[in-house]
Chains A and B, each alone.
Chain A
Amino acid sequence: MTSRYLFNRIGQALLVLWAAFTVSFVLLQAMPGDAILIKFQNPDLGLTPQQIAEIRAAYAADSPLWLQYVQTIGNFLSGNFGYSVQAGVPVSASLAAHLPVTLKLAAIGFLTAAILAVAIAFLSSLAPFAWLRSAIQSVPSLFISIPTFWLGIMLIQIFSFRLKLVPVINPGPWQEFILPVATLAVPISAPLAQVLVRNIDAVLTQPFITVARAKGATQGRVLWRHVAKNALLPTLTIAGVLFGELIAGAVVTETVFGLNGIGGLTERAVGTQDVAVLQAIVVLSAAAFVAINLIVDLLYPVLDPRLRTRSGATA
């Protein structure tokens, strides 16, 4: 990996990020709808047109578009994401307040999903009968077909109302995360399990597996000692897709369970046309997506020596 490749790759990532910012600006800020009018034209507030004009000036809502664009880029670069019109607080403060819940949910949910996916993939290749194998392998496609919001509601219905295992009112700090984590883990585990199953099948056809079998290794030992490492690595390539699933899952899960995280904030921002909040969330997720893909691209040759030698040979 030359420093020139590194430089190119980072430059490309920044370009995509800039373009994503522009797309979000065009979609959200250059549009005719107006969050300021929605909130302040309410007759109950009793504001005069002059006062509304002052508020508009304070939000710089009427300056020319190109000026708004340049200003917004400058603000975003310095970490200022503007003001939430509905809440009346800086967007960055709002994001910081809502982030911990989402981070906790996402971290535990992702871990659960990974365990679930590995279990599905390995059980399917250990299954002694063909019908059992195909039954386990069809679990991911079932998981993909279940609406996440419906899954959450069904879990509440079954575990909170029927079996009364998880309290609905005043749950403990960890209890309130059990069902959301289960809900979030299902849509994330599905693509992960599919990639894992495919990888395991591919690795099992490799000559070194035949050698290991010929030396007398059992199926379990072959899987753990020889297949696991080789099959887990390629899952890194779908990290970006999983991140998208995680965001969508967080919005829906937090809405269903009334958790006050970034997902819930997103849902309310759309409902109240709070453009600044949604734009910050869109741009930050695009940044996270670009960063994840960049890291995976740069890390992959480090983790897989075969790629390193190939790039060394061509360079």
Chain B
Amino acid sequence: MTTLDTIRSEIGADGRAGSSRRARLARLARRLPPGLALSWLILATVFLWAIAPALFTSYNPVEGVGGAQLKRPDALHLLGTDALGRDLYARIVYGAVHSLTGAFVAVGLGLIVGTTLGVIAGSVGRRLDDAIMRIVDVLLSIPPLLLSLSIIILLGFGTVNAAIAVGLTSVAGFARLARSEVVRVRRSDYVEAAFGSGGTFRAVLWRHVLPNSLTSVIAIAALHFGSAVLQISTLGFLGYGAPPPTPEWGLLIAEGRNYISTAWWLTTAPGFVVVLVVLAANRVSQSFGKVTS
């Protein structure tokens, strides 16, 4: 947030500044295209929603106000109210924490399990490599949503279970990527030199192979974050995530669906928020990709 603000104020001062300063600012502006800046702004806002929702709204997300049912969006209720008189904007703000923690758990799980499998497969090689990569093939052969549903049947409904279900579908992708990166780095000269100068297997893996393999893994993690938000909202919509009255975004849309002919704002607003967050996450991940390549 703060860096964005300083950049913006510096750009604002651009007209009065000297030419050398202008050149530097132009470079800065080029480095941060407006779409990317907006994406960071959206993500930062949503993270703040998750951390301190009370700063953004004074309404209660769970308890409704009598007599204020199904109000259209106006100055008092920015995005209108639902059938119980609850402020929709407040519900979306308070819902951020559910969607974001869900996405973090999912990506974290996929990242840790997948990368561990991939690094083991890539660095140990031979039999174990074959075995792990066959398991990955199997995970890839089951359509992701069906795999999530199978895990949900096993674990039961709930925010964390939905997040685990989504996270396990990304294990295969992370494992493949991490393995190919490790194999690529392993063949490079400096890793061979590290082995040649007496480095143990574990030390070389930790000091050279891991740090150099992880950059592209992180870029993909940002991409998976967007799709995890999407998948978690889908599971929430189907009713397998957090139970009502949790204001999880997918559940908000599912509840708003009952008033589709009278209260258009109930389904429209939460959906737009999901789309914006996913677009922003994808844009940010793209910029990571450019840096690494």
Q: How far is the CA of A27 from the CA of B154 in the complex (A)?
A: 6
Q: Assess the A290–B143 pair: CB atoms within 8 A.
A: no
Q: Assess the A154–B275 pair: CB atoms within 8 A.
A: no
Q: Assess the A285–B279 pair: CB atoms within 8 A.
A: no
Q: Which residues of B have CB within 8 Å of A255?
A: 238
B150 adjacent to chain A (CB < 8 Å): yes
How many Å from the CB of A295 to the closest CB on chain B?
Answer: 14
| Docked complex: B229-272 residues within 8 A CB-CB of A | 230, 233-234, 237-240, 250, 253, 257, 260-261, 264, 267-268, 271
| Docked complex: A242-256 residues within 8 A CB-CB of B | 243-244, 247-248, 251-252, 255
Most chain B beta-carbon neighbours within 10 Å: one of A16, A150, A153, A252: A150
Which of A51-59, A78-86, A268-276 forms contacts with chain B? A268-276
Size of the chain A interface, CB-CB below 8 angstroms? 45
Q: Which residues of A have CB within 8 Å of B240?
A: 270
Q: Which residues of B have CB within 8 Å of A148?
A: 234
A17 adjacent to chain B (CB < 8 Å): yes
Size of the chain B interface, CB-CB below 8 angstroms? 41
A159 adjacent to chain B (CB < 8 Å): no
Question: What's the dominant secondary structure at chain A's contact region?
Answer: helix
How many Å from the CB of A219 to the closest CB on chain B?
Answer: 28
How many Å from the CB of B183 to the closest CB on chain A?
Answer: 21
Query: Chain A 264-282 against B: per-residue CB contact (8 Å), 1 yes, 0 no?
Result: 0011001101010010011
Q: Assess the A145–B142 pair: CB atoms within 8 A.
A: no
Q: Which residues of B have CB within 8 Å of A266?
A: 146, 149
Which of A18-26, A69-77, A102-110, A174-182 forms contacts with chain B? A18-26
Which A residues lie at the B interface, using CB under 8 A? 15-17, 19-20, 23-24, 27-28, 31, 33, 141-142, 144-150, 153-154, 156-157, 161, 243-244, 247-248, 251-252, 255, 266-267, 270-271, 273, 275, 278, 281-282, 285-286, 289-290
| Known contacts A27-B151, A156-B260, then 17 further A-B pairs from the complex at CB < 8 Å, ordered by chain A residue | A15-B134, A16-B137, A20-B138, A23-B139, A31-B153, A147-B233, A149-B234, A150-B275, A157-B267, A247-B143, A248-B234, A252-B234, A267-B238, A270-B240, A271-B239, A273-B153, A286-B141
List 15 interface pairs A-B (beta carbons < 8 Å), by A numbering: A23-B138, A33-B156, A144-B278, A145-B226, A145-B275, A147-B237, A149-B237, A153-B257, A153-B267, A157-B267, A161-B264, A251-B149, A282-B146, A286-B142, A289-B142
Q: Which 8 A-B pairs have the closest CB atoms?
A: A150-B271, A248-B145, A145-B278, A244-B143, A19-B138, A247-B143, A27-B150, A145-B279
